[in-house]
Amino acid sequence: MTQNPHPVSIKARLRRELLAARRALSPDACRAAADALAVTALGLPELAGAQTVAAYVSVGTEPGTRALLEALRAAGKRVLLPLLLPDNDLDWAVYEGPGGLAETAHPGKMRLLEPTGPALGPDAVAAADAVLLPGLAVDGRGMRLGRGGGSYDRVLERLERAGAHPALVVLLYDDEVVARVPEEPHDHPVRAVATPSGARRFL
């Protein structure tokens, strides 16, 4: 009798495939996608109506967020960016523009661009009206596949404990909206996905 693969192993295989596809993207394709993604994301009511947005600075060939961060700030929104803590949890600081970012080397991690302003504490994310989540895929139910580091699982747990209910939005490439994402009990659905070619809302 064959057993169904465990969700963790299915997730690991799917992550490998999606990361390989991202690594194959050219710099020009990444730039064009980032510009289109900013337009799509700003059109979402969840972001258009938000006063405070918790976002992140994209790395490598992730769907680019730099243009979106500037557009959010230009629209008068308070933008919070994460600071990675030694235990993989996230602190937060206000985004003050590209000049307010500095490259930080974390042992065993990619070099990250992080805000240089004062840290507000991990609970600061509870004040956000919308939270932009990195991810690798989302399915038609809004279930998101993260990168597996656990940082945003902690963020989502913190929001739940605080009774905060910001709009959760994942930023992806077009072909990362898939038929099915394997889920585990701790996984949370997102409200919307923004891709370069459009947006889709689930809740």
Annotated binding site: 11-15, 57, 62, 144-152
C-alpha–C-alpha distance, residues 199 and 49, integer Å: 16
61, 115, 139 from 175: Cα distances, Å: 14, 31, 11
Task: List % helix, strand, coil for the chain (3-state, nearest 5).
Answer: 35, 25, 40
Nearest 10 degrees: CA dihedral of 7, 10, 11, 15? 180
- Pick out the residues of the known binding site for substrate: 57, 62
User: Which residue bears the tokens 């996608």?
Assistant: 33
Apex 19 CA angle, 97 and 88, nearest 5: 55
Apex 155 CA angle, 154 and 158, nearest 5: 85
What does the longest C-alpha to C-alpha distance in the chain come to? 59
- Pick out the residues of the known binding site for ATP: 11-15, 144-152
